[in-house]
Structure 1
Amino acid sequence: MRVFLLYNSPSSSFSIPPPTPPPTTTTHRPQKPLKPSFIRSLTATALSFNLLFFSPLSPLPPLSIASDFSPSSSQLECREEDQFIEEERAPELVTNEELVKEAWEVVNDSYLDTGRNQWSPESWLQKKEDIIGTYLPSRSKAHDVIRKMLSTLHDPYTRFLSPSELSKMGRYDMSGIGVNLREIPDENGEVKLKVLGLILDGPAYVAGVRQGDELLSVNGVDIKGKSSFEALTLLQGPTDTSVNITVKHGNCGPIKSVDLKRQLNAKTPVFYRLEKMDNGNTSVGYIRLKEFNALARKDLVTVSILTAMKRLQGMGASVFVLDLRDNLGGLVQEGIEIAKLFLNEGETVIYTAGRETQNVKSIVADKVPLITSPVIVLVNKNTASASEIVASALHDNCRAILVGEKTYGKGLIQSVFELHDGSGVVVTVGKYVTPNHLDINGNGIDPDYKKLPAWNEVAERLSKCQKQQFQKT
């Protein structure tokens, strides 16, 4: 079982013009036995739960994947492992009854009830007793039973994914060279990294890498025994830089070394400008962050924000406005890294809470802040997910005031568990809690002001907050 760990109208009262709304999972692969087990994510964006966090409203479109690799006759005797790749997904691996039981076990082991009081170990055990003996003549009937079983939780984020829906979810390029990797155990139990899919006309595809190829090394580093997470981290880098990879075509070779230029088509979602306020006496660095782009490399947004802040400082900005209106979220890790740019070392960015006590963790800043100037964060009812993490981190640590509307209130963590027939179950496994111990989910974050205050009022409020915080320590 693979586990992929996941996730309107602007106010017209601001002097800064409102933006247009932007568009906005971690998977476990089946392993024997059927008992669900967590495995490292295929993506290279991990949080404390190795989670990727989706926006509550907007799905991402799938990318095109090439799958035209056909081994030559000289390779036919080496196809046993390729056959295993296909057979592992085959419905015959698990009966319809076992599939339903597997989905039940995922929820039983991992689900976090987020306050609706619709789940308990006792009630969920009764649910299992209710479905045992159900006549399941087809795979589609088993899928329907799973859907109905999950619907009793009344959690809009815990849901069933068909095999095609789950397949699309795992096809995003996080490598920069247009490949999607998959961990495949061989007959000795050792893990090999295989190319699951390729982006048509991407760097790897153009260089002759094909589906089914085994990745052997990245820039001379042997990746034997490494996870896809670790390999993708080695593959990533700035756009237009080069990376060398060694691959084995099929199961018997040949081995090929190729140099690839990283190509990341995702544009930066960051816009910035210098503005004059208070009759031209105050230079304001305005930064608009439209989204946390899930198709970008993991540090694209952070680097863009960092660059914008440095340039605005160089232009004379003495205060900053961070506009998160209509930012529905995306990669939570990006939100965490951006919040750290404003916080002192050791200050809490966010807490994560799970069903088990050991899953309660704090994420803290680990460096000195890039700026110490007063900050206003603009928020509205479409400020969600990763954006709420940024807003609450800056606000609760007395680094910024919030202006606008109450935020959306999306603070849940989901994992996507892949079942043995290639379908999947998205399950809520945790939630985010602000540094001031506010449960974001379903509550949102209240702003300090509905309209922009004067900058001297901002400075006074932040100074008072910092003094109160100091007295508590």
Structure 2
Amino acid sequence: MRKIPPALLPLLFSLLILLGFYIGTYSSRGTSYSSNRIQKLDYLLQRVDELHLNPTGVDSLLEQAISELLHQLDPHSAYLNAEEVQRSRESVSGSFVGIGVEFNVLDDTVWVRSIIEGGPASKAGLRGGDALIAANGETLGTLENNEIIKRLKGQIGTEVPVDVYRPASSTIMPFTIIRGEVPIPSVDVSFHPNENTLFLRISRFSEPTFKEVQNALKKHKAENLSGIILDLRDNPGGLLHQAVDVASLFLAKDDSIVYVEDNRGKATWYINKKQGAYQRQSLVVLINEGSASASEILAGAIQDNDRGVIIGRRSFGKGLVQEEISLPDGSKVRLTTSRYFTPSGRVIQKPYDKGFEAYKNEIFDRIHGDDQQTIETPVYRTRNGRIVYGGGGVRPDIQQDRDSLSFAAHAFHLLGTIEALKSIQHFAAIHFDSIANYSPEMVWRSNDKELVLRLFPQAEYIPEEDVAQMGKYIKQQILSTVFGRRMMLPFVLRDDPFLQKSLRIMEHQESFDKLLSGNAIINQ
């Protein structure tokens, strides 16, 4: 969205005042007075469009004015145009209508990074490493990502002809894909890092989340295990009631989960209505700066009830609740109407009194700085009397520093971003059939140095530890291309320092229990 020219700022402020009336009109019953407000705004916009010296793009001006108005209120009140509303609806529903591929655009070529299991593209015979040349006769590589997505999405049951280049055979093949419902899983991965523990990564809280978590717990017979690790890192949140339902699986009957307070001070409490089926297992919850909103509700409930140990880094700090107001053109306004508190009374929302830009940048400043400061931070007590801190976000019981450079970032730094990714994807595509004859385990155990030198002979003189990092990244990309992202994740996570710390802590049950009782600190 382009910036508003300085000369139009006085007009913007006038629009902001009128828009306050405009938005209010569609959140209440219409009156003749409301109609006059709308007519005034409409008339002003028409005159601007017809008479102003410089082309203004009135629609864009109006959308930006709405956004600016809402940002003056708080950082999470927001305007969504019709396209953004559709994307939001898909994210919340847990599915979308399309063909089911994840792709990268490299050198004006749309490369399929991985195929979504069970989706229309998979059923039609597409595979990772293919290149999408055209859809409905229109070349895709020169389009922006959102335009490519538009060409591939559509009405359920409709056909989209796609021309596909397959590197293994050096041929362009025509496919006809019938668009269908493609799931957006909430549980990215679930696996056993050891025989007594289940690891679950929850990437969002959408309509199917509770059911997906339940199914994963049943599939892995979690009732017979001694430990469960819930990974909420980089989970931006979603539906409050889904977070409440997931929390109920691990808490006792009548445990408090969260309470929401509106602008009149009226509080609504969410209390667990039945005994959780998984109260016996030791529980660890992983969080970081990307864990927000509903993720913080779940983590805060587990922490305040002394049900589990929180490991990681302080969460984002989004504790405001929005209500959606629909506008006539299909767009929506998300208006903050209340805030939520953890059971101990902590406000999770971080301060936003320095303005919208400072609020956006705070997370980057925190990532690159020291985030263990607790001076002048409100102190609260958990059920067992443990000290926890307010002031924004959920602070972990045990801090886990970020890697100074993850192996993915390390590999990119050493290999060169685009050229490295192109070489790896091309290698996986050329050798797709032979790689598919091996198990993912065998691919992951293949020799790092041999693989790196096969793709990048120039790496011969790179130190061994760097070669190992590069090898892991290459194998991660190969597994994702050939076997799919969900098959790849358990192997990548084996070396995750957050997971390794969780397993070490859970080995010592007595110390684990003492930490939650407030009587001991675990040897990390």
The higher radius of gyration belongs to 2
- Greater share of helix: 2
Larger RCO, structure (CA 8 Å, separation 6 or more): 1
TM-score by length of 2: 0.43
